[in-house]
Amino acid sequence: MTTRTEQLPVAEDLFTWPPGDDNPLRLIGSECADCGLVSFPAAPACVRCASTESKRRLLADRGTLWTYTTQDFRPPSPPYDGPEAFEPYAVGYVELPGELLVEARLTEPDPDKLRIGQPMRLTLVPYTVRDDGTEVVTFAFTPAEEETS
Amino acid sequence: MTEAVIIGVGLHPFGRFPGKPALDMGADAVRLALADAGVNWPQIQGGYIGSYEVANPDAIVGRLGLTGIPLRGVFNGCATAGTAVALAARAIETGEHDLTIAIGLDKHPRGAFAADPSVAGIPSWYGQTGLFLTTHFFGMKINRYMHEHGISHETLARVASKNFGNAAANEKAWRRTPLTPEEVLASPVLNYPLRQFMYCGPNEGAAAIVLCRADQAHKYTGKPVRVRATALRSRRLGAFEVQSPSFPVGEVVDSPTVDASRAAYESAGIGPEDVDVAQLQDTDAGSEVIHMAENGLCKDGEQERLIAEGATAIGGRLPVNTDGGLLGNGEPIGASGLRQIHEIVLQLRGAAGERQIPGTPRVGYTHLYGAPGASAVTILST
Ligand SMILES: [Zn+2]
């Protein structure tokens, strides 16, 4: 393959884009200026103290798997806009220590290869391709052990 | 304060009824409830009607009689019917009406609930990327619960098998084919560890109940069922809830079910040990397992033994979902909680036929849970 596919993030200000050496991949959350509650996606108003003052916060890119499940049937479209040819995927909550638990796709679709407490690392996955060939990417977590193998 | 009692119940079968509008199903359920109570529509002084799909469920008066009464539409997610009952009972308790009605009806299209995430205050990417499915939450909640409390896949299958078995004895249920735990375990995984036959499906149906002041019940029935408590709670920060892109770390906060359940027991002066028969939200087999503990009916982890012993079966120590629950009946959202109350009323009257639990049950319990993290509990007694 020689053609470089263009990529776009599924939403603005959801994660750092485009990620690179000087702009490492992180989820973009917010932190309440009054009570410190961390939110993702970034929230204009705090659900703990109702403050409307918040600041941008880049979240940790590593955590542990708190729970998970699989998606073995194609979700209803809309709102799902993944490819017609459905590939099952997994979903989980990853605990980012001291910050929050975030729901995300997991790159490992086999439930037998996932376990609660497993170290996970943030990554991006192209989850669909538009008619013009543009890949749309979203955030996901991948088992961190894969790195050392 | 005056106490509210239930004097009539009516249930339209749950299932698929092509060509029959939800309002017609609702009108049928109302007529059954009125006949059961021995009252006429013009005697009803007010009521509450719940639906998800029907924008103006109060239009049902066009099918029942244009008597001018206040009939208020309610919608509260999966707790809709619990809300309708609570408000109808409150209208009696406060003296606003002597005779009220709570009605629920719905007619959902086939398949998993689909909607734009914006209706739940969630950004579009959550739905586009395939995260906006309530079934994910149920899979993830029971997966962690099994990990923490030693619940097996076989226990999930036994719950589903029990509820389909109970539904087989219920002529108004939707899924009336009994399934063995082995057959349940052989069905395909939809959201690990939950399989096809461990999930309920959205469908169609309606139910209604007629309530009156306790001091007037003798005019209508010898077997009034007392509304001892109704409680509704929404999710608190820190609880693990459906449709949550994230939630805070730290101490896990109780679900709204625990909050609603405690409030209802306290208000009723009745404890979980007094409950003779219960209807719990079994969106999936795992939910029934978790809700047994969240409603105080057992400790976390005890379900494994209780279910293996048949404690929650008809004839067991604590029968749960004797009419087949959501697994056997499906979920027309607006009607679901009223279907639960219909069954409890039959059980407390000793009129549940093939499904009748032994002895003389005195206390019944109903529970709803769902999006966006709301729970409704009703405690009834003879
Ligand atoms: Zn705050």
Q: A27-72 pLDDT, tens per residue?
A: 999 999 999 999 999 999 999 999 999 999 999 999 999 999 999 9
Tell me if residue B359 falls in helix, strand or coil: coil
Q: Determine the Cα–Cα distance for residues A34 and A49; give it in Å rounded to an integer.
A: 8
Residue with structure tokens 């040819």? A85
ipTM beyond cut 0.90: yes
Residues, chain A, total?
149
Ligand 1 center–CA B78 separation, angstroms: 29
Contact B124 A138 (CB under 8 A): no
- Sort strands B46-50 and B71-74 into parallel, antiparallel or unpaired: parallel
Kindly identify which residue of chain A lies nearest to residue B129, measuring between CA atoms: A80
Contact B128 A89 (CB under 8 A): no
Q: Give A-chain residues touching B244 at CB under 8 angstroms.
A: 103
Q: Determine the Cα–Cα distance for residues B259 and A6; give it in Å rounded to an integer.
A: 50
Amino acid code (one letter) for A57: R
Quick one: tokens of B33?
């409830």
Least CB–CB distance from B245: residue in A48, A103, A127: A103
Mean pLDDT for chain A?
93
Shortest CA gap B80–chain A (Å):
24
Q: Determine the Cα–Cα distance for residues B32 and B9; give it in Å rounded to an integer.
A: 7
Tell me if residue B205 falls in helix, strand or coil: strand
Amino acid code (one letter) for B356: Q
pLDDT of amino acid A5: 73
Ligand 1 center–CA B341 separation, angstroms: 40
Ligand 1 center–CA B66 separation, angstroms: 50
Contact B190 A72 (CB under 8 A): yes
- Asked whether the CA dihedral B147, B151, B154, B159 is positive or negative, the reply is negative
- The DSSP string of chain A is --SPPPEEESSTTSB-SS-BTTB---BEEEEETTT--EESS--SS-TTT----EEEEEPPSEEEEEEEEEE-SPPPTTT--S-SS---EEEEEEEETTTEEEEEEES---GGG--TT-EEEEEEEEEEE-TTS-EEEEEEEEEGGGGG-
Q: Determine the Cα–Cα distance for residues B151 and B102; give it in Å rounded to an integer.
A: 37
Q: Determine the Cα–Cα distance for residues B204 and B174; give it in Å rounded to an integer.
A: 9
Contact A72 B143 (CB under 8 A): no
* Ramachandran category for residue B29: left, alpha or beta (phi over 0 → left; psi -120 to 50 → alpha): alpha
pLDDT of amino acid B120: 82
CB B378 within 8 A of CB B229: yes
| Mutation for B interface: A67, A94, A115, most B CBs within 10 A | A67
Contact B191 A138 (CB under 8 A): no
Kindly identify which residue of chain A lies nearest to residue B109, measuring between CA atoms: A76
pLDDT, tens digit only, all 382 positions of chain B: 899 999 999 999 999 999 999 999 999 999 999 999 999 999 999 999 999 999 999 999 999 999 999 999 999 999 999 999 999 999 999 999 999 999 999 999 887 666 788 888 899 999 999 999 999 999 999 999 999 999 999 999 999 999 999 999 999 999 999 999 999 999 999 999 999 999 999 999 999 999 999 999 999 999 999 999 999 999 999 999 999 999 999 877 999 999 999 999 999 999 999 999 999 999 999 999 999 999 999 999 999 999 999 999 999 999 999 999 999 999 999 999 999 999 999 999 999 999 999 999 999 999 999 999 999 999 999 9
Least CB–CB distance from B136: residue in A37, A78, A91: A91
What residues contact A146, with CB distance under 8 A and at least 6 apart? none
Least CB–CB distance from B124: residue in A40, A79, A136: A79
Nearest CA-CA partner of A59 in A20, A34, A24: A24
Kindly identify which residue of chain A lies nearest to residue B116, measuring between CA atoms: A79
pLDDT of amino acid A2: 44
**Residues A80-111: tens digit of each pLDDT:** 999 999 999 999 999 999 999 999 999 999 99
Q: Determine the Cα–Cα distance for residues B369 and B77; give it in Å rounded to an integer.
A: 9
* Ramachandran category for residue B145: left, alpha or beta (phi over 0 → left; psi -120 to 50 → alpha): alpha
Q: Determine the Cα–Cα distance for residues B200 and B165; give it in Å rounded to an integer.
A: 14
Shortest CA gap B129–chain A (Å):
6
Residues with Cβ–ion distance below 5 A, ligand 1:
A 32, 34-35, 37, 46, 48-49, 51
Q: Determine the Cα–Cα distance for residues B373 and B238; give it in Å rounded to an integer.
A: 12
CA dist list (Å): A102 to A14, A97, B158, B174 = 12, 11, 32, 37
Indicate the pTM of the whole model: 0.96
Ligand 1 center–CA B370 separation, angstroms: 26
Contact A82 B129 (CB under 8 A): yes
Contact B136 A71 (CB under 8 A): yes
- The DSSP string of B18-47 is TT--HHHHHHHHHHHHHHHHT--GGG--EE
pLDDT of amino acid A1: 45
Kindly identify which residue of chain B lies nearest to residue A94, measuring between CA atoms: B246
Kindly identify which residue of chain B lies nearest to residue A36, measuring between CA atoms: B248
Q: Give B-chain residues touching A97 at CB under 8 angstroms.
A: 249
Ligand 1 center–CA B244 separation, angstroms: 18
Q: Determine the Cα–Cα distance for residues B376 and B215; give it in Å rounded to an integer.
A: 26
Shortest CA gap A89–chain B (Å):
9
Q: What angle do CA B292, B298, B300 make, to 5 degrees?
A: 85
Contact B143 A69 (CB under 8 A): yes
